[in-house]
Structure 1
Amino acid sequence: MATDLVRLRRLRAAKDAMDRDWSSPLDLATLAAHAGYSPYHFVRAFHAAYGQTPMQYLSRRRVERAEDLLRTADLSITEICHVVGFSSLGSFSSLFKKQTGLTPTAYRELHLRRGAALVPGCYALLWAGGFPHAPTAEQRNPEEAP
């Protein structure tokens, strides 16, 4: 029993990292390190606990975030694709359709017809954490870092 709780706590640490850092580039080795497992053992343990692989879970979370942005933000679909952590518009679009049953364009049009107002893209990017790979102030000006 205690072993199961320790295992779930470790897997939850990786799941929390995916929930928190969904827009960042996350690979299997990084996620496995959060749980303290080898990548292959992590995939098996995560699947046993949550019924899907870690990358399936991360992709699902990213599509959910994209749904939010498509309903609310005046950003292009390509911008949304990159903000939520996808590098390929084709992969994003096909996964989005598989998960929601609609293309990103159709999804947005459906919600706009319902009277949704779009937030300007600059505000949406601030809300979404900005550009996920933008350098920090310390990276831009290392001599000014504390």
Structure 2
Amino acid sequence: MCHPEWARARARAHHLDDLARLRRVRDRIDREYARPLNVEELARGAHMSAGHLGRRFRQAYGESPYSYLMTRRIERAAALLRHGDLSVTEVCFTVGCSSLGTFSTRFTELFGMSPSAYRAAARESVRGLPQCVAKQVTRPVRRPTAASAAAAAVAPSPA
């Protein structure tokens, strides 16, 4: 029979190992956001099942791996729209999105306006600001949906 302290130490070590793998997944998403990535591939790279990765990633970072990936893509797209001369369609494909409709929907969810409207408004609002300041000022804030707010209200708090 296992001593309770050993069991707790083993559980802690497993938890820390999971956190290290989750950081590697997040870092990979940050580096490779423009490449075709899916949760199954990310999970294989972390030696986890897709379901386990999704649950643990959400516990650690507050959103699913796919949602995190899309947020990184949309943030990069916003920078390209502010400072580049690419069309919205070109920006969509440059950041790794394969559907202009999904891209526009997610962009609107994060920024509250379409990519075209954002381009016009952002260029005016950051005129004269250093790029590092403009990036902070225009960083998206995820607005919780009714479903995610309800799920958060009934979810147990992390121990």
Q: Which category describes the TM-score, using the shorter chain as reference length? A: 0.7 to 0.9
Shift of 1:79: 0.2
Shift of 1:114: 4.1
| Contact 2:83–2:123 (8 Å) recurs in 1 | no
Matched, 1:24 2:26: no
Q: 2:19 aligns with which of 8, 31, 35?
A: 8
Counterpart in the other structure of 1:63:
74
| Contact 1:72–1:116 (8 Å) recurs in 2 | no
Q: 1:34 aligns with which of 27, 45, 54?
A: 45
Report the CA distance shift for 1:50/1:115 in structure 2 as closer, same or farther (over 3 A): closer
Matched, 1:104 2:121: no
Counterpart in the other structure of 2:63:
52
Report the CA distance shift for 1:115/1:100 in structure 2 as closer, same or farther (over 3 A): closer
SS of the residue corresponding to residue 23 of structure 1 reads coil
Counterpart in the other structure of 2:92:
81
Tell me the matched-pair count.
117
Shift of 1:102: 1.3
Shift of 1:34: 2.3
The AA in structure 1 aligned to 2:56 is A
Shift of 1:115: 6.8
Which gives a bigger RCO, structure 1 or 2 (Cα 8 Å, sep 6+)?
1
Counterpart in the other structure of 2:139:
none
| Contact 2:54–2:65 (8 Å) recurs in 1 | yes
Q: Structure 2: how far apart are the matches of 1:49 and 1:80?
A: 30
Specify every segment of 5 or more residues in structure 2 that has no aligned partner in the other structure, as ranges.
Answer: 1-11, 129-159
Shift of 1:3: 2.2
Q: Structure 1: how far apart are the matches of 2:119 and 2:83?
A: 9
CA-atom RMSD, angstroms? Answer: 1.5
Q: Structure 2: how far apart are the matches of 1:57 and 1:115?
A: 25
Report the more deviating stretch, 67-76 or 32-41.
32-41
Identity %: 44
Q: Structure 2: how far apart are the matches of 1:37 and 1:27?
A: 14
Specify every segment of 5 or more residues in structure 1 that has no aligned partner in the other structure, as ranges.
Answer: 118-146
SS of the residue corresponding to residue 74 of structure 1 reads coil
